[in-house]
Amino acid sequence: MKVLVTYFSQTGNTAQIAKAIHEEASKNHEADLKALEEVSPDTLASYQTAFIGTPIHAGGLAAAAKEFLEALPQGASCTLAGFVTHASSAYESASFEKGLALFREACQAKNIAFAGTFDCQGRLAKAIQPMVQKARKLSDEDWAKRMADTDPHPNAEDEDKARAFARQVLG
């Protein structure tokens, strides 16, 4: 089986999970690992399974991933699986759950087989932490606790869970 693992990553969180999925897929399949900007939606025609990864931005998918999903050809022959990274300790879980649902909805709208999604805690980029803290109206103490939860992620356990997800999708 030919497998594509493609991802959009700004901080390295999603790239780290993509590498773990690719590592697992490569054990028994011909697998390619590519940044999302290196592929087009038509590329999926060359693969039986495609994993698409993205961080969650403002409760939804990163713009590049959302645009990619919207541009998928109707009835693409591959099976699609999604994976996301998010700073759930900084936001409510509904924020990333909405993003997860967008994968399923895109597949339904395009009549593409859907194999599910995987989500992983990730570090929140330092550059946006003050803005998010202010928007969430959190004290410095509460914010520090939340960031202590996100900073070690993704970790080895998260990578193991991503590999397990890949095994599940690939059967």
pLDDT at site 76: 86
- Looking only at the bridges linking them, the beta strands covering 79-86 and 113-121 are parallel
How far apart CA 66 and CA 50 sit, in angstroms, is 15
| pLDDT, tens only, 108-143 | 999 999 999 998 888 777 777 677 778 778 888 886
CA dist 159 → 13, 27, 153, 170, 171 (Å): 11, 15, 10, 16, 18
What is the rounded average pLDDT of the residues 17-35? 98
| pLDDT, tens only, 47-57 | 999 999 999 87
pLDDT at site 90: 46
Position 106: which residue type? A
Which of residues 21 and 129 earns the better pLDDT score? 21
pLDDT at 58 over 80: no
Mean pLDDT in the chain? 88
| pLDDT, tens only, 85-103 | 987 654 555 666 777 888 9
pLDDT at site 93: 58
